[in-house]
């Protein structure tokens, strides 16, 4: 049976067998398992290591991290509560765990403490900003980013976060400048170019928005959301045939993209093909039953094909949605 394991794993298992009460041996094996993507197995060995050395903050941290990775955020929080720590990395982990538990206000408190403990960590500042946006604290986020841009002038995600906050506050020109800086610092960031396209769109600069979306797709041609955004941009530019191709591409990579079906339905309606509109709007509400506008358009499309009963059903569902 031992021959089924790789040489490194055999070595680690033999160390545990030779010293079953050695917490460090258990931890080393758990780290190996985690690196191999075998997180559920790693959890058991991290837990054994902590049981053998219950005062070890290292083993407690590793167990909590593994539990979070394994989708057990509640258990991870219990471990962190048993070993409270003011160390920056432990506070970051606590913030991540609380965010996973949909408790962003508490997560923000932990991340504020982490930023105070380690003010030179750009990643933690970024995480704090995103968490503050969840609790409608955009003013605090903007203030932090004013300092963050001076402290981390070459970190693209800080400029991207600045663009995000400015966009949410309606300061579109500031958002454009921030995202332009972010893509200059990280020209391979496909998501950054999507966000840049969004802020160009918000300022009415549809030509630059198209360029940004195309640049994103050049970096990641499989992104269904980016194809949808480019398609919407092309529709605004009154290029429906090209727009339709982009929505079809989105569905090629993700057939359950409700917005792509919805947009194709709108294009079908515009050209008078109501049967195709029904097909696409029906697919949109199947993929996303809460997409209210699609239910409305489905009802109208059914009516235009003469199917009064299904039209009434779809419009009834539209009225039920908030």
Q: Per-residue pLDDT tens for 157-200?
A: 999 999 999 999 999 999 999 999 999 999 999 999 999 999 99
Q: Per-residue pLDDT tens for 14-45?
A: 999 999 999 999 999 999 999 999 999 999 99
Q: Per-residue pLDDT tens for 77-133?
A: 999 999 899 999 999 999 999 999 999 999 999 999 999 999 999 999 999 999 999
How far, in Å, CA of 196 to CA of 270, rounded?
29
CB contact set of 81 (below 8 Å; sequence gap of 6+): none
Residue 3 has pLDDT above 50, yes or no: no
How far, in Å, CA of 99 to CA of 251, rounded?
31
* pTM of structure: 0.84
Identify the structural domains of the chain with CATH numbers, from first to last: 1-84 (1.25.40.10), 257-322 (1.25.40.10)
Q: Helices 224-236 and 240-253, interaxial angle, to 10°?
A: 170
Q: What is the pLDDT of residue 264?
A: 98
Give percent above pLDDT 70 in the chain. Answer: 98
User: Between residues 111 and 4, which one has the greater pLDDT?
Assistant: 111
Q: Per-residue pLDDT tens for 277-293?
A: 999 999 999 999 999 99
């Amino acid at each position: 049976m031992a021959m089924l394991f790789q040489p490194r794993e055999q070595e680690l298992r033999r160390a545990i067998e030779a010293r079953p009460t050695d917490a460090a041996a258990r931890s080393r094996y758990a780290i190996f398992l985690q690196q191999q993507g075998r997180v559920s197995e790693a959890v058991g060995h991290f837990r054994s290591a902590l049981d053998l050395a219950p005062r070890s903050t290292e083993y407690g941290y590793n167990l909590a991290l593994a539990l979070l990775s394994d989708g057990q955020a509640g258990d991870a929080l219990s471990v962190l509560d048993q070993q409270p720590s003011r160390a920056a990395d432990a506070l970051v982990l606590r913030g991540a765990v609380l965010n996973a538990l949909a408790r962003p206000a508490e997560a923000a408190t932990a991340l504020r403490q982490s930023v105070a403990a380690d003010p030179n960590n750009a990643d933690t500042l970024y995480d704090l900003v995103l968490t503050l946006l969840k609790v409608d604290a955009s003013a605090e986020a903007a203030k932090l980013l004013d300092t963050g841009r001076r402290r981390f002038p070459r970190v693209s995600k800080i400029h991207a976060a600045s663009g995000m906050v400015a966009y949410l506050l309606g300061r579109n020109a500031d958002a454009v400048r921030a995202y332009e800086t972010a893509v200059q610092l990280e020209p391979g960031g496909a998501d950054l170019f999507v966000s840049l396209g969004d802020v160009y769109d918000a300022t009415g600069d549809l030509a630059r928005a198209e360029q940004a979306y195309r640049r994103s797709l050049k970096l990641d041609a499989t992104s269904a959301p980016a194809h949808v955004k480019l398609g919407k941009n092309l529709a605004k530019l009154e290029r429906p045939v090209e727009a339709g191709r982009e929505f079809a591409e989105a569905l090629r990579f993700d057939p359950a993209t409700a917005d792509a079906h919805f947009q194709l339905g709108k294009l079908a309606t515009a050209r008078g093909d109501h049967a195709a509109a029904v097909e696409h709007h029906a697919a949109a509400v199947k993929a996303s039953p809460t997409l209210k506008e699609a239910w409305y358009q489905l009802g109208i499309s059914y009516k235009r094909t003469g199917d009064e009963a299904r039209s009434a059903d779809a419009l009834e569902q539209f009225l039920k949605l908030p």
